[in-house]
Copies of this chain bind each other. A is one copy, B any other.
């Protein structure tokens, strides 16, 4: 059975961005440290170039690419990431949840969908026997957990305390039992994989 896998990087204090995130500063102040594992080490919005992930970091990304048949992301994340330069970086179809699907850009790279549930349904249909990822931001992950449709939750913990920003579990008041599936660690991240109990 294909699974729905929510996966996101957080700081040790649970933030998915630093303070003052948004367009052109997608991960907020100091938030680049969340994604050292994606970039193969230190990088910043100010300084190029960025590297490639290695070792455990690359393994994890590769596995997610192999398993995934489609990914659902939120509009804010899409904007904060600068539309990924209008080029889909995920290696699978991307469905963007937005209140304004008519805003879809004419690149053919991303599909805008009017609500979360519909985005998941379209992603499942596209993914076939592969998994559907929920890639963030925090709000679509919380919606998935709240709807009880998430099979696996992957928390990728970056070795930083941010002290502020957007919190993954902001205003989330449900209690859910999880099951430990796996953990591994690189220099830049700890990858914790949970099954969500139903």
Contacts and interface: CB of A to CB of B under 8 A. Distances in A.
Interface of A: 12-14, 18, 30, 33, 145, 153, 155, 157, 159-164, 168-169, 172-180, 182-190, 192, 194
A185 B160 CA distance: 20
This chain: copies in complex: 2
Most buried by B among A168, A174, A175, A194: A175
A172 B182 CA distance: 29
B177 A185 contact: no
A190 to B, nearest CB: 5
Contacts of A188: 180
B185 A185 contact: no
Contact of A12 (B30, B153, B161, B190): B153
Contact of A14 (B145, B159, B169): B169
A146 to B, nearest CB: 10
Which of A161, A162, A185, A192 has the most chain B CB atoms closer than 10 A to its own CB? A161
Contact of A168 (B13, B18, B163, B192): B13
Contacts of A155: 12
B161 A174 contact: yes
Contacts of A160: 175-178
B30 A157 contact: no
A141 to B, nearest CB: 11
A192 B188 CA distance: 13
A175 B12 contact: no
A111 B164 CA distance: 35
